[in-house]
Structure 1
């Protein structure tokens, strides 16, 4: 099962999972959604396969030891960072918001405010929120401010933006329930009941964003996906084997959808974080700072998965699975 997931990653890493094609494709407004494209046989088969992989992975994960990467020496040291997860998430989100504000973008590199004083005023709250998150001050208030940006997003970009930027709401919900404590240098006590609720918001936010991007930029927008691959032909790693741009876009969308479902599932959080990091970082050299800044919140989520998955109790709160303790597995193997 893990091998199948790895296969999806290797094949699909040419198109960045979670990357907004609208950031890079020329004239993105020229490519409206085509919901009828969702009924293409290739798309239906891809969706069915990714759902099946996600469902089957949970019982497999329940039989594996937790944490799953404890055999790797550097991974064992991640447990010491568990109390810092809210601080790390706040820093990733805060840097993204602050730098995007200086670039006159609202939450997303593709959403820019109008020139002039009026547009600049719209960016002031975002810059303030970003600074508060970086400093670890008034994090709950900053989180509420992020969740109240919905009307502004609809006015600037339409209702679709609310779904594709759900990761911001997920991180904000997590930080509202588990804010870093300034008096403890940013450390937070992650009690399991609160962590379960906070992790649910984080998983849903990040997962919904990934799933929505797979739909609105690939499955239901083959014209945009085709234009992106024609604009950057190096992205289609399967072109030498005769795979068309349309077919590769379905493969790339499947990778994005798979990671969205796996993030929501929470099973094998460390494995999912490491595998998802491959397509998220594969094209940084091609797209540069725009992609890096746009993906910083997702990097924070993947880092949170990697760290929270390093302890059995926090991994269980993240996944909802009662996985077999590593010590018990060793004793069974020696019996």
Structure 2
């Protein structure tokens, strides 16, 4: 693969007519998607049996996100990188010592212990790294910080397997950060690697021609990069909107999953935070109350997330009950 440092971002490339058209289309589709979502029932995939069972995982969303974030930090530390695959430390004792705090935070998140302090550390360090290394690192850092803010607001409990009771106000604040972080990452990837970096995108497609899925139909690498960047930008906008979150999660996961056949475990581990957010959207979107809290479309009017009696009977959930004796978080 090409060295990303050899292909600096060219913001003037965003003024190309094709890019302007693509951005306009993405924005219009995102707005239309939200207007359509306001008129459709939720959960939108309730007819599918597997998605109906996801509602039982709602109290464990914080635990799932903590595990995804923790593993990501440990993988980065193993690769001698700090919060971003492109920020490596020297191969000496001093560099190794710099990785120790990140590894400790990763272990705490995976174990579900002291999650709130661990999340706070990421929230504090992330923006500092972005200032020191430029806006390009937003492609990785934004989703990490978004998950960390979510976990700071709604850390998993030590007991009950990390099950967390949530009220609508806290969930609304937490998911706002989660959506914004993941959406910013997707938009940054679209801009940094494609829309504002046509040379990098062209080189990538020349090195791995199979990535150009439309090549057999006569689509040039430049045009495909523009299309791919526009689609990625659209996914970022849809994640931020979170309207029809289950459909967004499933559709957005397709291109990320498709590249696993080419890049294997490296691609999977690199996108693990994004997968965690998409899983959270899929799970939270499996219930009407949490779905509407997530998207902000037509509130149910209750100050707390209510569980229907039938859901209580089937799943034994009591998400709206006050938390008692959380222990350390």
Match of 1:297 in 2: 273
* Structure 1: runs of 5+ lacking an equivalent: 1-24, 325-335
- After TM superposition, what 4+ stretches of structure 1 lie above 6 angstroms from structure 2? none
Match of 2:31 in 1: 55
Do residues 320 (structure 1) and 286 (structure 2) align?
no
Match of 2:123 in 1: 147
**Which digits, 9 at most, give the CA deviation of each residue in 1:230-259, with x for residues without a partner?**
111110011122211111000110111000
Match of 1:248 in 2: 224
The DSSP-based 3-state class of the residue aligned with 1:63 is coil
* Structure 2: runs of 5+ lacking an equivalent: 301-329
Do residues 286 (structure 1) and 290 (structure 2) align?
no
**Which digits, 9 at most, give the CA deviation of each residue in 1:271-293, with x for residues without a partner?**
00000110011011211222111
Match of 2:84 in 1: 108
Give how far 1:192 is off.
0.6
How far apart in 1 are the matches of 2:76 and 2:229? Answer: 26
**Which digits, 9 at most, give the CA deviation of each residue in 1:37-95, with x for residues without a partner?**
11111111100001000001112111111101111111110000000000000001111
Q: Is the contact between residue 66 and residue 323 of structure 1 (CA under 8 Å) also seen in structure 2?
A: no
- CA separation of 1:148/1:222 partners in 2, compared to 1, >3 Å: closer, same or farther? same
How many residues align? The count is 300
**Which digits, 9 at most, give the CA deviation of each residue in 1:170-191, with x for residues without a partner?**
0000000000010232000121
Relative contact order higher in (CA < 8 Å, ≥ 6 apart): 1
How far apart in 2 are the matches of 1:164 and 1:41? Answer: 28
Give how far 1:96 is off.
1.2
Match of 1:226 in 2: 202
Alignment of structure 1 residues 152-231 onto 2, 5 Å: 153-154=129-130, 157-162=133-138, 164-231=140-207
Say what the alpha-carbon RMSD is for the aligned residues. 1.6
Match of 1:262 in 2: 238
Give how far 1:212 is off.
1.2
Q: Is the contact between residue 172 and residue 293 of structure 2 (CA under 8 Å) also seen in structure 1?
A: yes
How far apart in 1 are the matches of 2:94 and 2:132? Answer: 13
Q: Is the contact between residue 84 and residue 140 of structure 2 (CA under 8 Å) also seen in structure 1?
A: no
Give how far 1:155 is off.
7.5
Match of 2:55 in 1: 79
